[in-house]
Structure 1
Amino acid sequence: MGRFLRDNGLSIALGLLFLGSLAGMILAGWHQDIDEALRDGAPLPTLGGYIVSAGFVSALFENWESEFLQMGVYVVLTAMLFQRGSAESRDPDDPGRGNDQPGPGIGGWLYAHSLGLALGALFILSFVLHLLGSWRDFLEEAMREGEAPQTMWQYLGSSRMWFESMQNWQSEFLSTGVLVLLSIILRQVGSPESKPVQAPDAQTGG
């Protein structure tokens, strides 16, 4: 058990942080909906009802969408582009990596690009689920306020939908760019995301 925890500590820690944060999001959002229902004199939402509500689904997958987009774009761009001195970049003067060629056939190509493809597929799935949740939330608001509903395709082109997405996308690209640049001059001892503490700033990669 000790060896298993050592070998998988990073995944376990991130998984526990994810579950704790998700539970916190659910409880905080549920109590917020309860407060709104009390103010409006509406029926109080149950926990199960809140978890499947349009507002929760939209908020959850709106964030997942931006995270998978960030990581997918990062994986693909770091395969093609360089940033001299960054721990997040290959060396532009020696970009090759041994044993890094696709195998034969379509199967080899798919495996060689499987990480980027998987992240892209997760982004698309999260985007669709965000769209469905946000659209349902809009329809519920329109019904309450007596406004005209929109089809899902009409809502896809709405400023509300794209504001929800872009407000997260911009922060993900900013944080990734900041990490790439800060890793040129700053260090974190022991982290594979940092160059060795005594490495010169111009050295690329860890």
Structure 2
Amino acid sequence: MRRFLRENSLGLVFGLLFLIVLVGQAFAGHADFNQQQLSEGLPEIGLGRYLTSASFGVDVLENWQSEYLQFFLYIWFTVWLLQKGSPESKELDKPGRESDRDQKVGHFADARSPKWARASGFRLWLFSNSLGLVMGLIFLLSWLGQSITGWAAYNEEQLGDLQDPVTWATYVTEPDFWNRTLQNWQSELLAVASMAILAIYLRQRGSSQSKPVGAAHTATGVEG
């Protein structure tokens, strides 16, 4: 058990932190929602009802979709785009999809290579692009979920203000939807750019996201 925890500590810790923060968001969001209810002369609702509400759903999903957009773009862009001196970039002489030998696919697969790395045709293409495809799919699904829950929450406000509800197609053209969406996108894109550029000049000893402390600023694709 100790060996399992040590070898999987990164994923386990982040998973645990995710659950803690999600629970914290649920309680804080519930309290905030009820404060708004009271200020508008409406009754409070229970935690269970809040957790199944469109308000909670859109708050969660609008962050998820921006995170997975970040990963999707980062995975695909780093195939071709480079950043001199950054550990987040590939080496400067390796842009593109690289050779079969470098990627250990087909005849160049070794004994420990996954089975699909030895395949050909569509199966090899699918496995070769599976990370980016799955990240993109999760982004699309969470974006769709955000649009649906946001639409439901928006229509609740419309009805509360004695205004007509709108269709989903109309909602996704509304400023409310794009304000929620774009404020998250810009923050994620800024975070990626900051990490790629600051890691050229700054170090974190022992981190796989940093170059070795003594590595030159121009060293590219080198991790500590």
- TM-score interval, normalised by the smaller of the two chains: over 0.9
Cα deviation per residue 1:101-140 (whole Å; 9 max; x = unaligned)?
A: 5741111101100000000000001001100111001100
* Structure 1 vs Structure 2 CA RMSD: 1.3
Deviation at 1:100, TM superposition (A): 4.7
Deviation at 1:93, TM superposition (A): 2.1
User: CA separation in 2, counterparts of 1:156 and 1:12?
Assistant: 36
Deviation at 1:74, TM superposition (A): 0.4
User: CA separation in 2, counterparts of 1:109 and 1:22?
Assistant: 36
Secondary structure, in 3 states, of the residue corresponding to 2:103?
A: coil
Matching residue's letter, 1:65? Q
TM-score (norm 2): 0.88
Kindly indicate whether residue 81 of structure 2 is the aligned counterpart of residue 81 of structure 1: yes
Deviation at 1:91, TM superposition (A): 0.9
Out of 131, 139, 142, the position equivalent to 2:147 is 131
Provide the identity percentage: 39
Secondary structure, in 3 states, of the residue corresponding to 1:34?
A: helix
Deviation at 1:94, TM superposition (A): 4.1
Alignment correspondent of 2:3: 3
Deviation at 1:177, TM superposition (A): 0.2
Alignment correspondent of 2:109: none
How many residue pairs were aligned?
206
Matching residue's letter, 1:99? Q
User: CA separation in 2, counterparts of 1:33 and 1:162?
Assistant: 22
Matching residue's letter, 1:89? S
Give the gaps of 5 or more residues in structure 1. none
- Stretch of structure 1 that moved more, 52-61 or 95-104: 95-104
- Within 5 A, what are the aligned runs for 1:6-45? 6-45=6-45
- Within 5 A, what are the aligned runs for 1:114-125? 114-125=130-141
Deviation at 1:38, TM superposition (A): 2.8
Cα deviation per residue 1:3-61 (whole Å; 9 max; x = unaligned)?
A: 00100000011001100100000000011122223333322211111011111111100
TM-score (norm 1): 0.96
- Within 5 A, what are the aligned runs for 1:123-202? 123-202=139-218
User: CA separation in 1, counterparts of 2:129 and 2:72?
Assistant: 11
Matching residue's letter, 2:153? D
User: CA separation in 2, counterparts of 1:149 and 1:13?
Assistant: 43
Matching residue's letter, 1:181? I
Out of 94, 99, 113, the position equivalent to 2:103 is 99
Matching residue's letter, 1:59? D
Alignment correspondent of 1:62: 62
Alignment correspondent of 1:109: 125
Matching residue's letter, 2:93? D
User: CA separation in 2, counterparts of 1:107 and 1:12?
Assistant: 31
User: CA separation in 1, counterparts of 2:42 and 2:68?
Assistant: 36
